[in-house]
Structure 1
């Protein structure tokens, strides 16, 4: 069954709303100053080339040590200065600085904004929410179709290792620069979009290099109140063209106040923790010997989620030094009719900013009645159940363990697959589901082994208890079937080899 929901899409470009009606009658040039081949020849934009910093120091600290001043203040003059220039030129659909905002009384201090202009005069559109990875479709609106006046500057790594700024640099289409553009329907002051390698037209999916670029942007800004966010498809991304969002808000987000429980420290120094006492379950990544270490671990976790078709949101906080990963299921529940009408009536689409505690409300009634209890109730609908969250964590830690090589090089970690003859016998006995379940439990079990090696659990007794409970639950299924008894035996032998090679004692 295909899952779809209807919602009012966010207009991020002034040319987005004209795309459908103009597409059918265009011939020759597009009639606007866009970023496609019809308009791009000879086009120029400012270029900010950042210095790659391998350790976790901020760029501004490095500059202080070297007694150098950056050629331009990245956040104040470039991002916010250019954003204000576009506001003066009337490129935004409304004045977000005039929107009422308040801090809601309570332990976490949720932030409520009344933004009635963000969804006016727009019709609901149907969105598919059951597929996180969808192919890029050049016929639909994408960021190559924005106006050049909506693009603030190009953003990339310096070739000579020094920060550089060029006020009028040619756009090198063949090398596909990353760009920063305005969101014409801003949520907050300085709301921009980071579009990695724009002309490569990546769909909305995380990759390691693009994620690292987002961390560099957060580090370059050097201000904890300037944060970046990411929404996957199925988690309220509007445009299927790879992009991050960012804006400046001089308040601490509720999610940044939430306590955490440390799960493990990886070999690269990255600390992985779990959010506690917050309505949405999630993981937190921080630390690391290098910015690349942190980026690699967090992006691998994101890649794991999207490859397993799990919608998620990401908040990049604290100048790129803290990353919140938040798998969610709100759109799925909405499509299945499992969200209460009272919450649906608010028309709030809980994406990364709302989940982080910045509640963008579209009705005066909801703003006037905003409370921590109401915010908590809405966000609780977003969160995975505890059981599902544990399953997702198992997938994530399995992926991280593989990339970190925690288990060790050359270690046999796979469980022997059934032979063709055994497979047929299982199918004939109507027990194929059992084999799938057994395979899945062994993967989860090996993840527990990895966690013990990483120090997540203190006792090997816990591992024994998990294995005992798995086989106790499955005993009824295999006890009457000789083929399944053979498979269980081979699986146990395979796991026994795995334990011995990894020096894990199971009694």
Structure 2
């Protein structure tokens, strides 16, 4: 049986048009200044070359006096400066900084945002939600069709192991570059896309090399307010072209406050824990003997989920120190008619940001009535059952060759309960008065 969702919010380039409107391509370019062979010859883009790190958990690696200062501050000067310049040029579909945002009172502080602009910028689409792995289709929208002005810079490892920035560097067509581009339908401030090896036209599936690149981006940022996320097909990825998302949110994500309980430690020192007392069941990975060890543990888990056709979302937090993995089933329930009409009416598709606690609402009514209980009820529909999550974890542990330990201590943050089924009963956080309170200055 083929499960389909007819309409979903998506990232749409300002330069996306139906192929039938322009079936011909000319040697001089298609006129859109895109990232395909028609427009790439002779094109140049800025290049940020990052230094590869061996560790993710040592303070010296990020803030110590022995670290050579980079020639340009990665986020504050380059990414955000370029992102704001694109905003001034009118490349975004709406002004996300004008969206109302508040923290909902409660132990976790779910963040509600009213983003009616994103709701209005839908396009008809149809894709299978019951198949995580699907081949790339060049006839459908993909990121080679965006305008070059939407790309902020190329993002590659430095050849001499030092951070470097080149304001204008040739695009190496033979060695497909990884690029950082704006999300023209942003969820929040500084919302960008990391597109690994863009010219290879990889489908939306995790591989070791690409996930390590995403982790390097989080490490290089060195800012706890900058998180990197990933959605698989079937878990509300709407473009089947490999990409990660990232943006600023200057408040903790609720998932970052959830307690956890250690399950096991891999032979490479990566600690894997259960997420406790949170509406979506999942795992958290941290530590490891090297950055690559941490990356491989998570990417191997994702590859296992892909091969077993299990939709999933990933969140990289704490400048690359913690990574959350959520297998999910909301799209399947939605397609099978198992989600209540009340939740469907909100038109919220819970992808990585919503699952992590930043809930983008499309209707003023839902925003005004946003509560801890409503957020919990929505996200609980995303979660696999306790029985199913145990089966999935067994698959993951077998894939990454580790055996669960028994009786490990619980790491607690703000809650003591261990159940994923009911929200905490305390109220504590106050509302933030405006969107600007959530934007770094």
- TM more than 0.5: yes
Show the 5 A alignment for 1:250-399. Answer: 250-399=250-399
CA contact (8 A) 1:273 1:283 kept: yes
Show the 5 A alignment for 1:22-171. Answer: 22-24=21-23, 29-57=29-57, 61=61, 64-66=64-66, 68-120=68-120, 122-171=122-171
Show the 5 A alignment for 1:164-313. Answer: 164-313=164-313
Q: Call closer, same or farther: CA 1:63–1:48 in 2, change over 3 Å.
A: farther
Q: How far apart are 1:24 and its partner, in Å?
A: 3.9
Higher relative contact order at CA 8 Å, sep ≥6: structure 1 or structure 2?
Answer: 2
Q: How far apart are 1:107 and its partner, in Å?
A: 1.3
5+ residue gaps in structure 1? 407-449, 459-507
Output the CA distance in 1 between the equivalents of 2:66 and 2:107.
42
CA contact (8 A) 1:8 1:119 kept: no
Q: Call closer, same or farther: CA 1:301–1:353 in 2, change over 3 Å.
A: same
Structure 1 SS opposite 2:174: helix
Match of 2:9 in 1: 9
CA contact (8 A) 2:100 2:113 kept: yes
CA contact (8 A) 2:7 2:122 kept: no
Q: Call closer, same or farther: CA 1:63–1:276 in 2, change over 3 Å.
A: closer
Q: Call closer, same or farther: CA 1:395–1:67 in 2, change over 3 Å.
A: closer
Q: Call closer, same or farther: CA 1:67–1:137 in 2, change over 3 Å.
A: closer
Taking structure 2 as the reference length, the TM-score comes to: 0.89
Output the CA distance in 1 between the equivalents of 2:121 and 2:223.
35
Q: Deviations over 1:338-374 (max 9, x none)?
A: 0000000000010000000000000000000000100
CA contact (8 A) 2:235 2:312 kept: yes
Match of 1:19 in 2: 18
Output the CA distance in 2 between the equivalents of 1:58 and 1:212.
18
Q: Call closer, same or farther: CA 1:334–1:105 in 2, change over 3 Å.
A: same
Q: How far apart are 1:398 and its partner, in Å?
A: 0.6
5+ residue gaps in structure 2? 409-441
Output the CA distance in 1 between the equivalents of 2:25 and 2:9.
24
Output the CA distance in 2 between the equivalents of 1:194 and 1:104.
30
Structure 2 SS opposite 1:175: coil
Q: Call closer, same or farther: CA 1:121–1:287 in 2, change over 3 Å.
A: closer
Taking structure 1 as the reference length, the TM-score comes to: 0.78
CA contact (8 A) 2:183 2:192 kept: yes
Q: How far apart are 1:60 and its partner, in Å?
A: 7.5
Q: Call closer, same or farther: CA 1:168–1:123 in 2, change over 3 Å.
A: closer
Output the CA distance in 2 between the equivalents of 1:165 and 1:27.
33
CA contact (8 A) 2:11 2:239 kept: no
**Higher helix proportion, which one?**
1
Q: Deviations over 1:154-194 (max 9, x none)?
A: 00100111111101011101111100000000000000000
Q: How far apart are 1:23 and its partner, in Å?
A: 4.3
Q: Deviations over 1:280-315 (max 9, x none)?
A: 000000011110010000110000001100000000
Q: Call closer, same or farther: CA 1:62–1:331 in 2, change over 3 Å.
A: closer
Q: Call closer, same or farther: CA 1:289–1:67 in 2, change over 3 Å.
A: closer
Output the CA distance in 2 between the equivalents of 1:341 and 1:211.
36
**Higher strand proportion, which one?**
2
